[in-house]
Chain A
């Protein structure tokens, strides 16, 4: 498949990432059939995924631990080198950039990490933490301009600029995450990659941080790639959802379409597992077995080992993403063929 330019701000095409698990060259040597051969074992973290992010969108990537969502985030933020495929930002390929060439992109794409207790340097004051990227990306700015910029950013995330002299340990979790967001905002980015930014925070604080992110989106027209496992946050925050399972895409759909009419059997199971506040009879679809290891991927569809609708075809042929009438992309033979299985339909709300 040749990369097709859809004009979207960020285009991810056939992205792949493998991590070698052998600790060195010698360990990868195996003795087989009288010969010494080199055979590396690798974790297939991300396998051939493609999706677009348009300007002003908030695209959420969801899935269970180990599905490769953080790896995707890190590749987009240029913290990891893809093993294959391409990432294009605003018409420019960014995955091949190195060294100085990366600087302009770093200024446009910033990242917010999950744990603000780990992502802020404990030996730096808040002021120093925020001044560093400002100075680095605007080398011509004088000290006064840098200070003004930092104060403005702190104010915009709701932290008193007088706190610049404090250290991160003096702040609460919610305040720290505000500072982490402020740090990303110091260089006026267009695009923020947020890897589970609210998972480490309490419910009341989660709301504060999510509100801040929504506000920044409106004020600065920021595009988000939002990684999360919390589906209620996705429904609230995302414009588009990418469902990952074992490093492959199951379904890409507009948030409203996905929640109203999930199509992929995995998406259905995932949605049914979310504990609901008002409903005391959960119709939870129980998946059999467990997520296979990404070292030895199952043949065919990655979900076939646990899928209630899997058949012979699923076991040999990996399904391609097919566009549905409502615009969502679904990679599933069962959906493509219109297979129905009574067990799974009863579990979820019927599509309207």
Chain B
């Protein structure tokens, strides 16, 4: 049984009686200790997926159907009490900006002790000791002293390390990290990613890494989901997706990177931009920007098919696949 299993999750946002669909029936699994990357551009629905998994969406967003099964139990059907004991404890979340995540008027120690004592029967002293150990694990120098400092006294990289330590406090089974290094410099990003990778490996923690950076996904994750306009359009092993992407959007995303073209020459750009939620095109949401789009793409949403190691939702790939099977039949 997989650790987490999302089935047909649909999220809508309502505005003055009208509703738009932000997540369109997405399904995926995360196995125990597996590291899964979620990539896509802004507005693809990556962060909403993360929030919906913790049932943390707030108005005007709401879950319109589907299941989020964590160890077989549907998070969305749990009582508020059960959900509280799950969040932070079994599933933890790391957000983009550590300055916003940490409470500026409490010391690091107060925040860590509070989290620990909310879930475990511990004395203040015991909780502080656990906090010190966790800070040491994420390579924070002189952890004892840090506990009495406020977030503003620490640098961005240090703060994000503390956020990771806090996420690991209660030994969760799954960490959802939403763009954990986007606000940080590249040298610090590399440190934080290495740390996250090490923590997940050594503690057998599952990781869902939400990012727009394909380089980061390639170095940290085992499996990747590519999202576009509220749907998963391609999923598979990270190596397969990076080396041999099948969906024209994934191909475009990888080819648009400056590394993929010789210096000085034109980059391979994807024309246009992501459609807005209230003006979703008919058929495949990518068809207005797709170089391979035909009439079928303009009218019908493609189904997900297995092709060359990955699962893809694209009519063109489907056609290639049926050609292949008919060849095999002959």
* Residues of chain A having any CB pair with chain B under 8 Å: 64-65, 172-175, 202-208, 210-211, 214-215, 229, 231-233, 235-237, 255-256, 269-270, 272-280, 282, 284, 286-287, 290-291
Contact of B64 with A by CB under 8 A: no
When C-beta atoms are compared, the residue in chain A nearest to B252 turns out to be A204
Contact of B264 with A by CB under 8 A: yes
A207-B269, A270-B186 as given contacts; A282 in contact with B219, CB under 8 Å: yes
In the complex, chain B residues whose CB is within 8 Å of the CB of A275? 189-190, 193, 213, 215-216, 218-219
Q: CB distance A203 to B257 under 8 Å?
A: yes
Q: CB distance A270 to B187 under 8 Å?
A: yes
In the bound complex, what is the Cα–Cα distance between A310 and B19 (angstroms)? Answer: 61
In the bound complex, what is the Cα–Cα distance between A233 and B256 (angstroms)? Answer: 11
Total residues of chain B contacting the partner, CB 8 A: 42
Residue B257 contacts which of A214, A231, A277, A279 (CB distance < 8 angstroms)? A277
In the bound complex, what is the Cα–Cα distance between A274 and B186 (angstroms)? Answer: 6
When C-beta atoms are compared, the residue in chain A nearest to B156 turns out to be A65
Q: CB distance A206 to B256 under 8 Å?
A: yes
When C-beta atoms are compared, the residue in chain B nearest to A65 turns out to be B185
When C-beta atoms are compared, the residue in chain B nearest to A233 turns out to be B258
Q: CB distance A290 to B264 under 8 Å?
A: no
In the bound complex, what is the Cα–Cα distance between A172 and B193 (angstroms)? Answer: 31
Q: CB distance B256 to A204 under 8 Å?
A: yes
Contact of B57 with A by CB under 8 A: no
Q: CB distance B218 to A276 under 8 Å?
A: yes
Q: CB distance B264 to A236 under 8 Å?
A: yes
Which residues of chain B from 252 to 311 have any CB-CB distance to chain A below 8 Å in the complex? 252-254, 256-259, 261, 263-264, 266-271, 273-274
In the complex, chain A residues whose CB is within 8 Å of the CB of B263? 235-237, 255-256
CB of B55 to closest CB in A, whole Å = 28
Per-position contact with A for B205-243: 1 when CB-CB < 8 Å, else 0?
A: 000000011111011000000000000000000010011
When C-beta atoms are compared, the residue in chain A nearest to B141 turns out to be A289
In the bound complex, what is the Cα–Cα distance between A85 and B218 (angstroms)? Answer: 45
Contact of B2 with A by CB under 8 A: no
Q: CB distance A277 to B259 under 8 Å?
A: yes
- By DSSP majority rule, is chain B's interface helix, strand, loop, or mixed? helix
Contact of B174 with A by CB under 8 A: no
In the bound complex, what is the Cα–Cα distance between A23 and B269 (angstroms)? Answer: 47
The 9 closest A-B pairs by CB, nearest first: A275-B215, A236-B258, A204-B270, A207-B269, A202-B41, A207-B267, A273-B190, A207-B256, A64-B185
Contact of B137 with A by CB under 8 A: no
In the complex, chain A residues whose CB is within 8 Å of the CB of B258? 207, 210, 232-233, 235-237
Q: CB distance B218 to A280 under 8 Å?
A: yes
20 A-B pairs with CB atoms under 8 Å apart are A64-B188, A202-B212, A202-B273, A202-B274, A203-B214, A204-B253, A205-B41, A208-B270, A236-B261, A236-B263, A272-B190, A275-B190, A275-B213, A275-B215, A277-B259, A280-B219, A280-B239, A284-B190, A287-B187, A290-B157
Residue B187 contacts which of A64, A202, A277 (CB distance < 8 angstroms)? A64
CB of A260 to closest CB in B, whole Å = 12
Q: CB distance A203 to B212 under 8 Å?
A: yes
Q: CB distance B186 to A278 under 8 Å?
A: no
- Given A214-B264, A277-B257, A286-B190, 9 extra CB contacts under 8 A: A203-B41, A203-B212, A208-B269, A232-B258, A237-B258, A269-B187, A270-B187, A272-B190, A282-B219
Contact of B194 with A by CB under 8 A: yes
In the complex, chain B residues whose CB is within 8 Å of the CB of A232? 257-259
CB of B11 to closest CB in A, whole Å = 21
Contact of B85 with A by CB under 8 A: no
In the complex, chain B residues whose CB is within 8 Å of the CB of A215? 266
A229-B186, A235-B263, A276-B215 as given contacts; A211 in contact with B191, CB under 8 Å: no
